A and B are shown apart, each in its own frame.
Chain A
Amino acid sequence: MAKQTISNIKLGAFVTAGLLVLIYSLYTIGKNSSYFGGSFRLRARFHSVNGLMKGNNVRFSGIQAGNVKDISIISDTLIEVTMVIDENTKKFIRKNALVSIGSEGLMGNKVVNIEPNSLPAPLADDNDILLTANKVNLDNMLATLDKTNMNLVVISEDLKETMHKINNSKMLWTILDDTTLSSDIRNTFADLRKAGEHINTMAANLDGIITQTSNGDGTLGLLLKDTATANRLKHAIIQVNNASDEMNAVTTRINNIVTGVQDDLSKRDGIVSNLLRDTAMTNQLRNSLNNIEKGTASFDEDMKALQHNFLLRRYFKKKEKEKKH
């Protein structure tokens, strides 16, 4: 009978162990899938869920936060995903959190990511609809990659053509095959080096000159450094400036006069205008001039008569003699 009891105890231990393992594993699986507890639900609406399935994980900032409870089609462009969120995560999710669908690794399961927004907002309530964001998905990436591929094809074609041209270019190969070219290039470089040395020397000389100049030696230095000369130069320039100012005043006055004359002319009065326009005065002037001419002719005759006058004859003869000498 004692043996029977011991075997019964062993059997009991065995059965208990088996059941414990079963319960433990079922509980662990249930906890992972949020089958127990967690009645807090959030919703998000997408245009496409990219193969998301019921039971896929929901992550909040990368931490496991629940799973997808339900996926239902609302309209032809809208799909609603209902998520069950764990008790300990729900107090961190705010109304303005962004929901996106990503994948675990390149080929892994789809996963819903809830990312917090930095802007303040109240905590999300049960059954709230959160904002969604379109994340990079593999299809788009592949589409871009396809484009890149096409470009690569074009580029490689071009490259091939370029290489072909280079290969077929006789000139290039002549240059490359030319054995004297390398020595020429070497000589050129040697010359260049010499030239460089010369330039270096020149630069050194120039440096010396500049140093002298800045010290006030030489003509240029004197010019730059001599303060007395500079003052005189300044004085001269001031004088020139004053002269030009005076000239300016004179010009202004002349200008005024000319303007006055012009005004007179246009108004047909004043001396100048009368001078120019009065025909009577012009005739008088002409008569006066004729009279003067006649006067002069008479005067000339008078003078000739005087020459022959006995009183003055001696003087004129003396003058003629001087002219002959």
Chain B
Amino acid sequence: MEIPKSIKLFLTQTGELAKFTGRFFSEAFHPHYEFREFIRQCYIIGYKSLPLLGITGFIMGLVLTMQLRPTLVDYGAESMLPSMISLSVVREIGPVITALIFAGKIGSSIGAELGSMRVTEQIDAMEVSGTNPYRYLVVTRVAATTVMLPLLIILSDAVGLYGGYLGVNIHAITSYKLYMTQAFNVLDFYDVLPAIIKTFFFGFAIGIIGCYKGYYSKKGTEGVGLSANSAVVISSLVIFILDLIAVQITGILGYN
């Protein structure tokens, strides 16, 4: 029986990706760490993304507040606005939106960077010179995205909550203290911790998919663009799939 080409391609890629991920774990936990490169990647991936994600988070909080407000006013529950904003930002919208923006910025840049290195045969040169390209290029980047994304999401949530505070104050006057009290009153560890834990997986997925797409980029300039593009598309999709899995796991554990 002939398997359709698209399914074949999908299964091949999934298998390759799984092997790639397995290689990451085997390489990452063996000595001779590329610590300096890891720090440099953290700086590029984490620190350099902060302005973009901060602005996104701020606008997210502000717009969410302004969109929620009319409905809550209809129900006479305007005072619940801070609670709703903090719950929705911390639990769902903050992690997912920030991860998507992060995937767009970092996933594509990793894919393009490694793709161009592959195309210009720098990776091959590294192998020849005795440096382990996987360890130097992939492990550092994936570790950096995994560690940096949660931090970025925490800061983005904070900025988003501040945006929500400003949004509340467009129509009504609420003190910062009251807003923060109300926002934190509804939050529990069960709200914050699963949301933060899942962002590690988001970061890991973005890093590993970007690296995989770049590492196995097709030859030619066309291949670089393709790997950058597919890195973003696939990691965005994977973020949603992981989110779905995360919400089900927290549901099963009774932390919803």
Which A residues are closer than 8 A to B by beta carbons?
4, 7-8, 10-11, 14-15, 17-19, 21-22, 25-26, 28-30, 32-33, 35, 55
* Smallest beta-carbon distance B223→chain A, Å: 30
* Residues on A with beta carbons closer than 8 Å to the beta carbon of B150: 18
Report yes or no: B189 in contact with A30, Cβ–Cβ below 8 A. yes
* Residues on A with beta carbons closer than 8 Å to the beta carbon of B42: 11, 15
* Residues on B with beta carbons closer than 8 Å to the beta carbon of A35: 189
Residue of A nearest to B46 (CB): A14
* Smallest beta-carbon distance A63→chain B, Å: 13
Stretch of B15-23, B107-115, B152-160, B240-248 with 4 or more beta carbons under 8 angstroms from chain A: B152-160
Q: A7-B43, A10-B43 are in contact. Are A25 and B155 (CB under 8 A)?
A: no
Report yes or no: B40 in contact with A7, Cβ–Cβ below 8 A. yes
* Residues on B with beta carbons closer than 8 Å to the beta carbon of A19: 151
Task: Specify which of B39, B46, B150, B154 lies most central, judged by the most chain A CB atoms within 10 Å of its CB.
Answer: B154
* Residues on A with beta carbons closer than 8 Å to the beta carbon of B39: 8, 11
Q: Mark B30-46, 1 if CB is under 8 A from A, else 0.
A: 00000000011011001
* Smallest beta-carbon distance A32→chain B, Å: 6
Q: Which of B43, B50, B154, B157 contacts A8 (CB 8 A)?
A: B43
Report yes or no: B50 in contact with A14, Cβ–Cβ below 8 A. yes
Question: Which bucket holds chain B's interface residue count?
Answer: 20 to 34
Complex CA distance for A79 and B47, rounded to whole angstroms:
53
Q: Which of B113-154 contact A (CB under 8 A)?
A: 150-152, 154
Report yes or no: B184 in contact with A33, Cβ–Cβ below 8 A. no
List 10 A-B pairs, Cβ < 8 Å: A8-B43, A10-B43, A11-B47, A14-B151, A18-B154, A21-B154, A21-B157, A28-B184, A32-B184, A33-B188
Which B residues are closer than 8 A to A by beta carbons?
39-40, 42-43, 46-47, 50, 150-152, 154-155, 157-158, 184-185, 187-189, 191-192, 196
Task: Specify which of B150, B151, B157 lies most central, judged by the most chain A CB atoms within 10 Å of its CB.
Answer: B151
Residue of A nearest to B189 (CB): A29
Q: Which of B47, B184, B188, B189 contacts A7 (CB 8 A)?
A: B47
Residue of B nearest to A14 (CB): B47
Q: Which of A8, A17, A30 contacts B155 (CB 8 A)?
A: A17
Q: A18-B151, A18-B155, A22-B154 are in contact. Are A11 and B188 (CB under 8 A)?
A: no
* Residues on A with beta carbons closer than 8 Å to the beta carbon of B151: 14-15, 18-19, 22
* Smallest beta-carbon distance A98→chain B, Å: 25
* Residues on B with beta carbons closer than 8 Å to the beta carbon of A15: 42, 46, 151
Complex CA distance for A4 and B39, rounded to whole angstroms:
10
Complex CA distance for A17 and B158, rounded to whole angstroms:
11
List 19 extra interface pairs beyond A25-B154, A32-B187, CB under 8 A: A4-B40, A7-B40, A8-B39, A11-B43, A15-B46, A18-B150, A18-B154, A19-B151, A21-B155, A21-B157, A21-B158, A25-B187, A26-B189, A26-B192, A29-B187, A29-B188, A29-B189, A29-B191, A32-B185
* Residues on A with beta carbons closer than 8 Å to the beta carbon of B40: 4, 7
* Residues on A with beta carbons closer than 8 Å to the beta carbon of B184: 25, 28-29, 32
Report yes or no: A33 in contact with B189, Cβ–Cβ below 8 A. yes
* Residues on A with beta carbons closer than 8 Å to the beta carbon of B47: 7, 10-11, 14
* Residues on B with beta carbons closer than 8 Å to the beta carbon of A14: 46-47, 50, 151
* Smallest beta-carbon distance A68→chain B, Å: 13
Report yes or no: A25 in contact with B192, Cβ–Cβ below 8 A. yes
* Residues on B with beta carbons closer than 8 Å to the beta carbon of A17: 155
